[in-house]
Chain A
């Protein structure tokens, strides 16, 4: 059974710093991996989707990498801003399955 873990559960950094969020998964036979952002009381917004054949995806100040063999993904946020404060979740979809398995998220706070 696929399990997705995100460490740390919470992270607080000063504005302007570059930071990395981690996601690990137990079954490497994945179809794709997505990173989401969730603001308090709101739905999730998909930030980046990486197919199993890809190594990374970039969007603006965000870069997500995928190492399938080691069961790891990272989300790199450059030059962090207070508006980046939110909970970030990663989710994987296994090959041959249409179920998405989510990590519990990392609650990120960027201090001005």
Chain B
């Protein structure tokens, strides 16, 4: 089954304790991205990656790191979490055609990770 898998689903941690949220997709997608969703602010992009070893900042990258060493994995790293990073996080992936008609860029989302930083 085609899917984007995020782990963990729920995470409670304390300020300053490094954590990693994993994301894996089995669709051989080039494009992967992380978002956070907050009430009243909607979905905001944190980082994205066009392919292996190619990453770039989204709109709210401060306090986050990512890596793309393999095509299927795109972990989100919080080196020193703070309470303002309490949020619902989503990973997503899509095909990225280089020529028209090669495929659809429909975005597939994971089920989300609810993070609470105390």
Is the CB–CB distance between B42 and A49 below 8 Å?
Answer: no
- With contacts A45-B109, A46-B107 taken as known, whether A98 is within 8 angstroms of B31 at the C-beta atoms is yes
Residues of chain A from 92 to 112 with CB closer than 8 A to chain B in the complex: 93, 98-105
CB distance from A100 to the nearest CB of B (A): 6
Is the CB–CB distance between A43 and B110 below 8 Å?
Answer: yes
Q: Is the interface of A mostly helix, strand, loop or mixed?
A: strand
Contacts of B106 in A (CB 8 A): 34, 46, 49
Query: Which candidate, B11-19, B43-51, B64-72, B74-82, is the interface stretch facing chain A?
Result: B43-51
Contacts of A7 in B (CB 8 A): none
**Proximity bits, B84-118, A CB within 8 Å = 1, else 0:** 00000010100000000000111111111000000
Is the CB–CB distance between A100 and B107 below 8 Å?
Answer: yes
From B31, B42, B45, contact of A104 by CB (8 A): B42
Is the CB–CB distance between B111 and A43 below 8 Å?
Answer: yes
- With contacts A49-B104, A49-B105, A99-B59 taken as known, whether A89 is within 8 angstroms of B43 at the C-beta atoms is yes
**CA A105 to CA B59, docked complex, whole Å:** 18
Task: Give the 3 A-B CB pairs with smallest separation, nearest first.
Answer: A43-B109, A102-B43, A104-B42
**Proximity bits, A17-48, B CB within 8 Å = 1, else 0:** 00000000000000010101000011111100
**Interface residues on chain B, size class:** 20 to 34
Is the CB–CB distance between A44 and B109 below 8 Å?
Answer: yes
Is the CB–CB distance between B107 and A34 below 8 Å?
Answer: yes
Contacts of A91 in B (CB 8 A): 43, 107
Is the CB–CB distance between B45 and A44 below 8 Å?
Answer: no
Is the CB–CB distance between A99 and B48 below 8 Å?
Answer: yes
**CA A32 to CA B44, docked complex, whole Å:** 17
Q: Which residue of B lies closest to A6 (CB)?
A: B42
Q: Which residue of A lies closest to B9 (CB)?
A: A41
From B33, B104, B111, contact of A100 by CB (8 A): B33
**CA A23 to CA B59, docked complex, whole Å:** 21
